[in-house]
Amino acid sequence: MSLPTPECTPKCRSLRHADEVVAALTRGTEGQLRAFLSAHCCNAGKLRDAFGRTALHLAASLGKRVLLEWLLESKGADLLAKDGESGWTALHRSAFYGQIHCLMALVKHGGVLSIQDKEGLSVLDLTMKDRPAHVVFRNTDPTEAYTWGNNANFSLGHGNQETRHHPELVDIFSRSGVYIKQVVLCKFHSVFLSQKGRVFTCGHGQGGRLGHGDEQTYLVPRVVEGLQSHHCSQVAAARDHTVVLTEEGYVYTFGLNHAHQLGLVPPPTASHVPKQVTCKSLKGRLVIGVAAGRFHTVLWTREAVYTLGLNGGQLGHLLDPNGEKCVTVPRQVSALHHKDVSIATAAASNGATVCVTEKGDVYLLADYQCKKLASKQLNIKKVLVSGGALDHRVDPQVLNENGGEKVTIVVLDEAGRVFCWRSVGCLVRQCRWAYGRQVFMSDVALSKSNVMFVTQEGEGFGGQWLGEACLEIVIMYLYCIYNVFILIMYLY
pLDDT digit string (tens) for 303-361?
A: 999 999 999 999 999 988 888 899 999 999 999 988 888 999 999 999 999 999 999 99
CB atoms within 10 A of CB 42: 17
User: Can you give the pTM of this predicted structure?
Assistant: 0.78
In angstroms, the Cα distances linking 18 to 32, 40, 55, 192 are 17, 10, 8, 57
Please report, as a single letter, which amino acid is at residue 141: D
Count of alpha carbons within 13 angstroms of residue 350, beta-carbon side: 18
CB 181 within 8 A of CB 239: no
All CATH 2.130.10.30 domain ranges of the chain, comma separated, are 146-428
CATH of domain 15-129: 1.25.40.20
The strand pairing partners of 445, in sequence order, are 452
Query: In sequence order, which residues have a C-beta less than 8 Å from that of residue 299 and are 6 or more positions away?
Result: 251, 277, 282, 287, 289, 290, 305, 306, 307, 330
pLDDT at 32: 83
Contact 273, 289 (CB under 8 A): no
- Please tell me the distance from the alpha carbon of residue 225 to that of residue 478, in angstroms, as a whole number: 39
Other Cβ atoms within 10 Å of 401 Cβ, number? 9
3-state secondary structure at position 430: strand
Sheet hosting strand 180-185, strand order edge to edge: 180-185, 189-194, 199-203, 218-223
What is the pLDDT confidence band of residue 435, given thresholds at 50, 70 and 90?
Answer: low
pLDDT at 480 over 60: no
CB 298 within 8 Å of CB 292? yes
In whole angstroms, give the CA distance from residue 234 to residue 480: 28
Please tell me whether residue 141 adopts helix, strand or coil conformation.
coil
What residues have CB less than 8 Å from 6, skipping those under 6 apart?
none
Residue 238 has pLDDT above 80, yes or no: yes
pLDDT band per the 50, 70, 90 thresholds, residue 474: very low
CATH topology of domain 146-428: Methylamine Dehydrogenase; Chain H (2.130.10)
User: Could you tell me where in the chain the CATH 1.25.40.20 domains are found?
Assistant: 15-129
Contacts of 191 (CB under 8 A, 6+ apart): 183, 184, 199, 200, 201, 235, 237, 242
Q: What is the mean pLDDT of the chain?
A: 86
The pLDDT value given to residue 484: 30
Contact (Cβ atoms closer than 8 angstroms) between residue 429 and residue 492: yes
